[in-house]
Amino acid sequence: MTSFLYDNFTALLRNFGVPLIGIAVFLVIWHVIAARIETSLGVMPGPVQVGQQFLNLVAEHQAERTKAAEFYQRQQERNAKMLAENPGAEVKTRSYTGRPTFFDQVLTSLITVMTGFVLAALIAIPIGIVAGLSHTLYSALNPLIQLFKQVSPLAWLPIVTILVSALYVSDDPLLEKSFITSAITVLLCCLWPTLINTSVGVANINKDLLNVSKVLRLSWLTHVRKIVLPSAIPMIFTGLRLSLGIAWMVLIAAEMLAQNPGLGKFVWDEFQNGSSNSLGRIMVAVIAIGLIGFALDRGMLSLQRAVSWDKSSALR
Amino acid sequence: MTHLELTQVAIEFPTPKGAFKALENVNLKIQKGEFVSLIGHSGCGKSTVLNIVAGLYKATTGGVILDGREVDEPGPERAVVFQNHSLLPWLTAYQNVELAVKTLFKGKKTKAEIKEWIEHNLTLVHMDHAMHKRPDEISGGMKQRVGIARALAMQPKVLLMDEPFGALDALTRAHLQDSVMEIHAHLGNTVIMITHDVDEAVLLSDRIVMMTNGPAATIGEILQVNLPRPRDRLVLAEDPHYNHCRGEVLKFLYERQRRPGEAATATKKPDAVVTPLPERPQLRIVA
């Protein structure tokens, strides 16, 4: 009994205690060192100041939401009054144009990264499958893949910006140019891992299963649907997880330069702003970026578990 | 008329050191409903013969004729039971058979008939109790049963079995051998089976085709097994003809085809051969 309790206790300690100690040690070191560094924006913020900045950002968000609610209330009352005085009056409904808060920016970032990532997956998976099935096509694509996967988002961005400006011309654009530029840059950078892993997964299907398909004389489409896709799912997901990680990293840089109103722009604006709070607010953003990246990866893992037939395979 | 005929079959595999001749001068005629075993040492090209009949390999010279038509590609009339079952791991036993049945009988059978036919074949191999389990949830013997059910469900003219029981323990193997005899008696399929196991070959076959060692392997001897069916392994253990057949195969394998440095130089699959084995006399008489 004692040993059972002891075992449980050590397991608990290992699973939760040790990571918590790691975080605590990090915070203490941060706190001690930060207090000694004098920057142009004052003393470097420690964990406490960063926590305060987070609360400030929450408060700003709530204040902004209250203002928005009040704006809509006033607008409604005004319109109701106008209609009461003159039923034929033309009433105008405007949407609230306040400053985006930190949390609005997080949401923008998430939408942008998912747009780029989903488009990349929609392009990369079919091409990867076809390239995996055809050795010739793979040989033709491989040099291009190896070449372009090396390119940094900062190099793509100017090209994408100019092309988007040239090709996306509309008087009443549905989507912001900065959004499209950021999403396409994300797409160009996160295409490759999915493409490579899908084609490798498809090319390495168990030969016996291919023979089964041949004996049954499965049509090309059935072959892909029934044999190729399920076989390659684990590799496709490995690629997707790598791609999503890259997409999230690239996004921050892309948003900074493209001025897409997301986390990247938040960091850039705070940097330009240079108030005594800026460093703390940027650090809140850094931690948020890390946490969201982690959550995205876990999300992909759960999706993989849900989709994959091999529930026993070790997924981490 | 001959049902299945192999004429002057030879095959070469390209290797970095030039072509490797795996088979040469393979001639074999098989009657409808006959059960034929191919036996020989590892790497002698038994599987290659089977793969040529299946259409998975193309003979370099010579060819295979089934019911008057040349075999040039794989097809369901020559269903294969693979050595390692080759079930799709993401499908249940039922779904694995269903894939074959739906592919072959779409438009020819109604939904109900398809379901009935799948269940019928799984029952035939005694897998009706576990037909909704996935391959990783059932034993090796059960997987092989499902593999046989899938092949049978194709209603093949010839059933090709590539060491179907090679990876199974002795008891499971005996159960499956009984099942295969039962099915063969019931359906009367033509069967070509590859085996390592002398008892298995004698118990199941009408004829045993013994192969010489590679490279350039060919048929060394063919033994007729004139034992009445149905056969019972316990009764046969005492049977003089059974023991005679057994002795003949053993003599062929271990006297006339004994390899110098047995198995040490054996290569399992022809496509795994990187350095061709040195030329050696086709029949090495030891004695």
Each residue's pLDDT tens digit, B86-96: 999 999 999 99
Environment class of B128 (CB within 10 Å of its CB; exposed 0-12, middle 13-18, buried 19+): middle
| pTM strictly above 0.90 | no
Same domain? For B72 and B135 the reply is no
Domain count, chain B: 2
CB-based contact A208:A137 (threshold 8 Å):
no
Confidence tier at B210 by pLDDT (50, 70, 90): very high
Answer whether residue A314 is part of any domain. Answer: no
% pLDDT > 90, chain B: 52
How many CA atoms within 13 Å lie on the side-chain side of B272?
A: 11
Phi, psi of B58 (to 5 degrees): -105, 130
Answer whether residue A88 is part of any domain. Answer: no
Answer whether residue A73 is part of any domain. Answer: no
Q: Which residues of A touch B90 (CB under 8 A)?
A: 230, 309-310
Q: How close B54 gets to chain A, by Cα (Å)?
A: 8
Q: How close B175 gets to chain A, by Cα (Å)?
A: 25
Q: Which residues of B touch A309 (CB under 8 A)?
A: 89-90, 134
Answer whether residue A58 is part of any domain. Answer: no
Answer whether residue A279 is part of any domain. Answer: yes
Same domain? For B277 and B199 the reply is yes
Answer whether residue A89 is part of any domain. Answer: no
For residues A123-136, one letter each, b for 16 or more C-beta atoms within 10 angstroms of the residue's C-beta and e for the rest, the string is ebbebbbbbbbeee
Which H or E element spans position B164?
Answer: none
Mean pLDDT of B220-246: 90
Chosen domain end from B131, B155, B179: B155
Chosen domain end from B115, B140, B155: B155
pLDDT surpasses 60 at A210: yes
Among candidate residues A227, A207, A211, A316, the one with its CA nearest the CA of residue B90: A227
CB atoms B88 and A227 under 8 Å: yes
User: Which range of residues forms the domain containing residue A292?
Assistant: 102-307
The rounded distance, in Å, linking the Cα atoms of A109 and A231 is 33
Chosen domain end from B117, B138, B155: B155
Q: Which residues of A touch B107 (CB under 8 A)?
A: none
Whole-number CA gyration radius for chain A: 26
DSSP letter (8 states) at residue B190 = E
A102-133 vs A135-148: helix axis angle to the nearest 10? 150
If you count residue pairs, one on A and one on B, with CB atoms under 8 Å apart, how many are there? 51
Q: How close A136 gets to chain B, by Cα (Å)?
A: 20
Same domain? For B199 and B285 the reply is yes
Same domain? For B187 and B245 the reply is yes
Mean pLDDT of B52-60: 92
Tokens 């034992």 sit on residue: B227
Which H or E element spans position A293?
Answer: helix A278-307
Identify the CATH number of the domain in which residue A298 sits. Answer: 1.10.3720.10
The rounded distance, in Å, linking the Cα atoms of B222 and B208 is 6
Same domain? For B120 and B244 the reply is no
Q: Which residues of B touch A224 (CB under 8 A)?
A: none
Domain count, chain A: 1
User: Which range of residues forms the domain containing residue B278?
Assistant: 1-77+158-287
Identify the CATH number of the domain in which residue B193 sits. Answer: 3.40.50.300
CB-based contact B281:B212 (threshold 8 Å):
no
Mean pLDDT of A263-283: 91
Answer whether residue A80 is part of any domain. Answer: no
Same domain? For B94 and B6 the reply is no
The rounded distance, in Å, linking the Cα atoms of A212 and A70 is 67
**Model pLDDT, residue B254:** 86
Answer whether residue A20 is part of any domain. Answer: no
Which amino acid is present at B182? E
